């Protein structure tokens, strides 16, 4: 039998807001890297992703560079990539459990709405926020539509939701 156990105080343990990232958190991989694999560019794009995650590159610049490499990739590659995207074990159960206990659940990602909207629906998130690909003539243009959501967007979303919902920081996870 598989069991997860966390020992802590019972007071305040039920959170009222869940804010989660998507890539390598709710799903097991980096969806942009997986999409790049369809263009034969996974290693190059993954190297830029790793540098951005390590703080070696500015997120916005790195995102634009990676998406720029995908210019001309057929839009069908998005659906193919999503079809192979795997949910992290327990992700959907976490969101559904939080919701059953009254929590508001939001997916905020530096990834793309093509993926976050589908993952959010599959898991039961109330909202999702992410970047948007520019698509023309059934192919990626290599551009990211403004505004670009990076790590600041996660903090901004957290602060907004705390304020809108009348929560304390301790009410969130």
Query: Which are the catalytic amino acids?
Result: 21, 23
Instruction: Give CB contacts under 8 A, 24+ apart, made by 86-90.
Output: 86/27, 86/28, 86/29, 87/26, 87/27, 87/28, 87/119, 87/122, 87/123, 88/25, 88/26, 88/27, 88/28, 90/4
Length of the chain: 173
- Six token digits for residue 98: 């939080």
Q: Are 20 and 173 in contact (CB under 8 A)?
A: no
DSSP 47: H
> Which is nearest to 124 in space by CA: 101, 106, 109?
106
């Amino acid at each position: 039998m598989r069991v997860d156990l966390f020992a802590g105080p019972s007071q305040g343990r039920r959170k009222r807001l869940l804010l989660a990232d998507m890539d390598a958190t709710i799903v097991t991989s980096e969806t942009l890297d997986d999409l790049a694999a369809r263009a034969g560019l996974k290693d190059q794009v993954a190297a830029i992703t790793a540098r951005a995650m390590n703080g070696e590159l500015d997120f916005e610049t790195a995102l634009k560079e990676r998406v720029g490499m995908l210019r001309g990739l057929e839009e069908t590659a998005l659906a193919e990539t999503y079809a192979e995207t795997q949910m992290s074990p327990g992700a959907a159960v976490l969101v559904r459990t939080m919701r059953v206990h009254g929590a508001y659940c939001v997916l905020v990602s530096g990834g793309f709405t093509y993926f976050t909207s589908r993952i959010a629906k599959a898991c039961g998130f109330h909202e999702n926020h992410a970047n948007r690909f520019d698509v023309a003539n059934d192919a990626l243009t290599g551009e990211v539509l403004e505004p670009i959501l990076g790590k600041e967007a996660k903090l901004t979303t957290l602060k907004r939701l705390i304020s809108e919902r009348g929560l304390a920081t301790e009410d969130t996870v």
